[in-house]
Amino acid sequence: MKISYDRSKCQGHNRCYMLAPELFDTDDEGYAILLVEGEVPSDLQDKAQLCADNCPEYAIEIEG
């Protein structure tokens, strides 16, 4: 499973950071910072899916 994040779509709802601080941090203005690159560790895959399913702006995508 791969996860990607599009900063240009992010509006800082912070749903991802609240659901999975292991996967997302936030910057000073509240925009998301994706913490993993490439493959999502298997124990975080459910959380990654949850983040993608809750982002109101469709800024997070899951592949595979």
Partner 1 sequence: MAETKRDPVAEWATDFDHTHPDYAAAATEIWDDLRAGCPVAHSERFGGTWLPTRHEDIAAIAADTEHFTSQGVIVTEWRPDVPAPVGYAPPITSDPPFHALARRVLLPYFSPKAMVRWENTTRAMCRELLDTALADGATAFDAAADYAQHIPVRVIADMLGLPRDDGDKFRGFIHRIIEVPGQVEVEQEDTLDHYLKQIVADRKAKPGDDLISYLLSADLDGVPLDEGHVEGTIGLLIIAGIDTTWSAIGASLWHLAQHPEHLQRLRDDPEVIPFAVEEFLRFYAPVTMARLVAEPVQIGDASMQPGDWCLLPFPAANRDPEFFERADEFVIDRAANRHSAFGLGIHRCIGSNLARLELRIALEEFVARIPSFELADPSAVRWSTGQVRGPRLLPVRLT
Interacting residue ranges for partner 1, rule: CB under 8 A: 11-15, 17-19, 26-30, 50, 53-57
Q: Measured from the CB of residue 42, what is the shortest distance to ligand SF4 in angstroms?
A: 22
The entry of partner 1, ligand SF4, none that residue 62 binds, CB within 5 to 8 Å by partner kind: none
Q: Per-residue DSSP letters for 5-54?
A: E-TTT-----HHHHH-TTTEEE-TTS-EEE---SBPPGGGHHHHHHHHHH
Site for ligand SF4 in 16-45 (CB under 6 A): 16, 32
Nearer to ligand SF4 among residue 13 and residue 45 (C-beta): 13
CA distance 39 to 7: 19
